[in-house]
A and B are shown apart, each in its own frame.
Chain A
Amino acid sequence: DTGVSQDPRHKITKRGQNVTFRCDPISEHNRLYWYRQTLGQGPEFLTYFQNEAQLEKSRLLSDRFSAERPKGSFSTLEIQRTEQGDSAMYLCASSSDGNEQFFGPGTRLTVL
């Protein structure tokens, strides 16, 4: 499969725990985006990487959230001290220098 992949697909955690998600973009894509989607809403932008550089972060991204893309390929999104309000689908998308963004299947996070 040459599309965007994400791991894990589902994560259930207890409030206060840390979680980490991984995204593998389409191999030749240099741009990578993280979005969050809650029920009945469209995806909301969280952060953006061009190669290994994190160029933009949404104000939605609190200090408990951190993202990395160390070698300009895969990316990780970590949430520390999870809260129930963090429960959502976390989507990753990638693109080349054009605009078209292709989404991965998402990681569904449930915080109990």
Chain B
Amino acid sequence: GENVEQHPSTLSVQEGDSAVIKCTYSDSASNYFPWYKQELGKRPQLIIDIRSNVGEKKDQRIAVTLNKTAKHFSLHITETQPEDSAVYFCAASYGNNRLAFGKGNQVVVIP
């Protein structure tokens, strides 16, 4: 079955430092891995995604890496800013592109 796990559950970083969130997934057939950012009371917002045919993708200060063999992928945020504070969800695709989500990571950027 589908199982996506995220860790750590809470991450505090000093402004300007980097943050790394790791996720593992269970189904080797998963081929699409998005990351969503959710601020309090708002909708999940897609920030970056990666497909199984690449190992790394970068978009300005955020990057995602994928290790298919180990079935894990990570979100990297560099030069963190206070507006990066939010809950971040990883997800993995199953079946008809439905997504199984992790429980989320609370990232707190300390000014």
Task: Give every chain B residue within 8 A of A99 (Cβ-Cβ).
Answer: 32, 34, 49, 51, 93, 97
A40 B44 Cβ-Cβ under 8 A: no
Distance to closest chain A CB from B37 (angstroms): 11
Task: Give every chain A residue within 8 A of B29 (Cβ-Cβ).
Answer: none
Interface presence of A42 (CB below 8 A) = yes
Tell me how many residues of A have a C-beta within 8 Å of chain B: 22
- Closest chain B residue to A50 by CB distance? B96
Task: Give every chain B residue within 8 A of A102 (Cβ-Cβ).
Answer: 46
A105 to B38, CA, bound (A): 11
A40 B49 Cβ-Cβ under 8 A: no
Task: Give every chain A residue within 8 A of B91 (Cβ-Cβ).
Answer: 42
- Closest chain B residue to A44 by CB distance? B101
A33 to B32, CA, bound (A): 16
A101 B43 Cβ-Cβ under 8 A: no
A56 to B100, CA, bound (A): 14
A106 B43 Cβ-Cβ under 8 A: yes
Task: Give every chain A residue within 8 A of B99 (Cβ-Cβ).
Answer: 33, 43, 45, 101
Per-residue CB contact flags for chain B residues 17-58 toward chain A (1 = under 8 Å, else 0) read 000000000000000101010000011111001010000000
Interface presence of A31 (CB below 8 A) = yes
A56 B96 Cβ-Cβ under 8 A: yes
A45 B98 Cβ-Cβ under 8 A: yes
Chain A residues near B (Cβ < 8 Å) = 31, 33, 40-45, 48, 50, 55-56, 91, 95, 99-106
